[in-house]
A and B are shown apart, each in its own frame.
Chain A
Amino acid sequence: MKFVSGDLAKTRDALKKLLPAEDILTFPFRAAGGLDFCAVFADPVTDKELLGEQVVRALLPYDGPHRAEEIAKRVTSPELRIERTLEGLAKEVLAGNPVLLFSDMDAAVVVGTKKLFLRSISEPSTDIAVKGPREGFIEDVKVNTSLVRRRLKTEELRIEMLEVGRRSQTTVALCYLEGTAADGVADEVRNKLREIDIDFVADSSYLTHFLSARPYSLIKQVGSTEKPDIFCAKLAEGRVGLLADGSPIALTVPYLFVEDFQSSEDYFVPAYRATFTRLLRLFALLVAIYLPAFYVAAQLFKLQLFPIRLLLTIAGSIRDIPFSPSLEMLIVLFVLEILNEASVRMPKYVGMALSVVGALVLGETAVSAGFVSTPAIIIIAFSGIGLYAVPNLIEETSVVRLAMLLIAGSVGTYGIILATGFILYRLVTTENFGSPLFAPFAPTVGRDLRDSVLKYNMGSLKKRPVSIGSPNRRRMK
């Protein structure tokens, strides 16, 4: 570790050697008392106007001692720090904070005049609520922590700033409520974050791999949300949250599978309505996963599963189809996945054209040409819609749907049953941060069932979920 020396030129050169990039600039100026200063800053991420206003203008009349603490008192920025190591200075410059060097210095002054390029706070496209707050997290961790702080005005809220990533040095805010967060979870998360040895963290989703007990499992083990109200509600239940700089997606642990069937809106509408919509989401997801598989299995292995009239209709529509039922369904599914992928990536103005091409040309023409049958298109369309009823599980459920379809085409309904049993077994035996993923169903936690697929009135939810393991059980008197 190298320390700053009293020689301004020497320190400046040493710092420039550490930061040879061309966008690292220096700005020398002399104060009225004859003291030489040099501001070193990263051009693209430093607010030069603030630097001029709060630092240069403030120090021009300076005629005091050559001591960092005295100089810092004259600078009008509210965010100041004294730094003595060259490595520390380099880190601050890269973070957008200019450092102020001067002749005969004992230490350098770091000034917080970072330039922020922020998009405005808007409603996240993945979590839209008709009733309730519409704010969403953005890419700046400080703004995000302020959104959290605004909702949780308690001294128990802890926000610890950690750095992850050798090169990106991404700031990750570890948030929890002291005394409410499950015992040991914050420590465990902190330790896991410190152990991460990766050069670049582009998004908070990079961290999920390191926070999962079974990192290679298909099963999701870390919760995520883009909305501060949900994030704060989860902290208040006893979870620990993570906000990564550069990512609008916050992570929460421990994660329960049932979380993704809950929406923030469920808490703003009457309980009966919330229960109904949760059941609807569950039904939609089950239909999305199993409908194509059972349709294929029934056609191939057990025609009795269809009512006789429906069977006649299906028989009529598949009569001239050149593919086997499973291949036909796979083709339609792949077309849907490709259309979905393309519509997400392509410019919005092409989206309308894509809908026309997808729905009319591919759908209508493929049926009339006899490539695929109408029931297959209806089933895949229904399945596609159903999958989006639980948007947070799309990555997992789309893979499960494909797997079920392949199993149904090769082994039939019994294969689907076994695969379901296997998935359920994996779900119930997965634990993360001490909480069973499939709680409150397995293990059954009677009280927690009140806010699972069912939703009781607020008056019945006086205690925090047992499954999370919060030491502070009561949340309402």
Chain B
Amino acid sequence: MSKISPRQLYFFLACVAPVGKLVLLPTHLANIAGNDFLYPLLVQYVIGAAAVFCTLLLVRRGKTLPVLLEEVCGKAVSRILCTLLSLFLFYATLVPLLEQKTFVQSVFYDTLPSLAAFAPFFLFAAYLMAAPLERQGRMWDLLAPVAAVGLAGILVLSFGSADYGALLPAVSMGFKSFSEGTMSATSWFYDSAILLTMLGKVEEEKGIAVKGMLFYLLGGAAVGLFFATFCAVFADTAVNQLFAFSKTSKYFAGITVLGRIDYFFIFLLAMVMAFYCVLPAQAGVDLLVGAFHKPRFLGPAVAVLLAAAYFTVSVSLDYRFGELVKAVTSTSFWVFPVFTVLAPVLLLALRGGRRES
């Protein structure tokens, strides 16, 4: 399988990555920052875009992360750092995974389904995690238009019932809410950490860092438009609307005649989300395999163990998902910037590992 092409990477940044921010984040931010919830999102996207830029600058060195680290710090330290990043990625998978689970249980079933309804996801996740990360590139070629059609469809169906005046006043909650919202939103922004694991697996292109950043911001703009529409549809009741993208379009006038046609777009986004929510774990497994050079044994073994662990966590936290989100967003939120912002910047500053001219 060939390397991930720059086009596939841009598709990921502009179309696939935003989907992970459409489920609980709008409600979560509306809860904390009220009408000001677009500002934390803006800040996160600006920081995220800078991190993406820094990470993609490293693509020019043409080396994988384990090799890059090995040349600077030696084999042992490289393995430790890669393991730490992998552990972070496994941890980062938790929120989107449980988010997906509660979303599926609430939106796709009239009554609370049995655990078996979500169990196939873990088989799917295990299969994906065991596969090399490069294969994902082609999937992004396919998922990007799917995500774009899904999001565009939901927005089009929602515009009729949106009152953008509900976004006013634009500044109402003060700095405390803003900073709290910004900090707690970090748990949804780990894209640059995923990109770190793709180093050496992406084809080089002139200006890839700038283009990548711009595509990431483009995705951010789409998320911002969705957030605004979500708030415009629900106004003050947005804080109670969990699983935002499944609800925004439900007031479409044609639904009484045609049925829930918005579900078609929800299904499209759910499929993209299924791939996106496994991606951090998949990237983590791929990084471990690269660091320890044991692809045949390590990849599938870690993938199966992880899937089993996630299944156990999802079963044991069945009714405590809210508490988990709270724990991640309010107590361990600082872990995210360490790996998503600090790590790329530090790597960029490292003198070693540069390609010989």
Contact = CB atoms under 8 A, between A and B. Distances in A.
B256 A307 contact: yes
Contacts of A407: 120
A37 B231 CA distance: 100
A321 interface: no
B120 A304 contact: no
Contacts, number: 90
A412 B138 contact: no
A302 B108 contact: yes
B19 interface: no
B271 A438 contact: no
A429 B135 contact: yes
A421 B146 CA distance: 11
Given A411-B120, A414-B104, A415-B120, A444 B259 contact: no
B142 A411 contact: no
A307 B8 CA distance: 38
A310 B271 CA distance: 27
B142 A442 contact: yes
A418 B20 CA distance: 17
A307 B257 CA distance: 6
A411 B117 contact: yes
Contact of B113 (A301, A303, A420): A301
A441 B108 contact: no
Contacts of B113: 301, 412
B142 A424 contact: yes
B110 A414 contact: no
B116 to A, nearest CB: 7
Interface in A377-429: 407, 410-415, 417-418, 420-422, 424-425, 428-429
Contacts of B258: 307
Contact of A425 (B8, B109, B121, B139): B139
Interface string B82-123: 000000000000000000000010001110010011101100
Contacts of B257: 307
Contact of B259 (A307, A429, A443): A307
Contacts of B5: 443
Contacts of A422: 124, 127
Interface residues of B, number: 35
A412 B8 CA distance: 31
| Most A Cβ at <10 Å: residue of B7, B135, B138 | B138
Contacts of A303: 110
B117 A441 contact: no
A469 to B, nearest CB: 13
Contact of A412 (B108, B142, B274): B108
B263 A438 contact: no
A103 B117 CA distance: 83
Interface in B216-237: none
Given A307-B256, A415-B120, A421 B274 contact: yes
Contact of A417 (B137, B141, B256, B271): B271
B148 to A, nearest CB: 13
A94 to B, nearest CB: 46
Contact of B142 (A302, A410, A413, A428): A428
A413 B141 contact: no
A302 B263 CA distance: 11
Nearest to A446: B7
Contacts of A413: 108, 267
B275 A421 contact: yes
Contacts of A223: none
A363 B257 CA distance: 30
B345 to A, nearest CB: 32
A346 interface: no
A154 B261 CA distance: 55
Interface string A290-328: 000000000001111111101000000000000000000
Contact of B124 (A421, A436, A444): A421
B141 A411 contact: no
Nearest to A309: B257
B176 to A, nearest CB: 39
B116 A428 contact: no
A304 B124 contact: no
Contacts of A429: 1, 131, 135, 138
A428 B138 contact: yes
A417 B124 CA distance: 11
Contacts of B274: 417-418, 421
A413 B110 CA distance: 12
Nearest to A428: B138
B260 interface: yes
A294 to B, nearest CB: 9
A444 B144 CA distance: 11
A222 B206 CA distance: 38
Given A302-B110, A411-B116, A421-B274, A441 B141 contact: yes
B138 A438 contact: yes
Contacts of B121: 414, 418
A410 B120 CA distance: 11
Given A417-B267, A418-B120, A443-B8, A302 B109 contact: yes
Contacts of B117: 411-412, 414-415
A424 B128 CA distance: 12
B198 interface: no
A304 B108 CA distance: 10
B100 to A, nearest CB: 9
Contacts of A415: 117, 120
Contacts of A305: 259-260, 263
Interface in B1-24: 1, 5, 7-8
B270 interface: yes
A414 B118 contact: yes
A165 to B, nearest CB: 34
Interface string A433-457: 0001010011110000000000000
Given A413-B267, A418-B120, A429-B135, 12 more contacts: A304-B260, A307-B259, A308-B256, A414-B120, A414-B121, A415-B117, A415-B120, A420-B271, A422-B127, A425-B139, A428-B141, A444-B7
6 contacts: A304-B259, A305-B259, A418-B124, A424-B142, A443-B137, A444-B7
Q: Which 9 A-B pairs have the closest CB atoms?
A: A307-B259, A442-B141, A428-B138, A442-B138, A442-B142, A444-B141, A414-B108, A429-B135, A414-B104
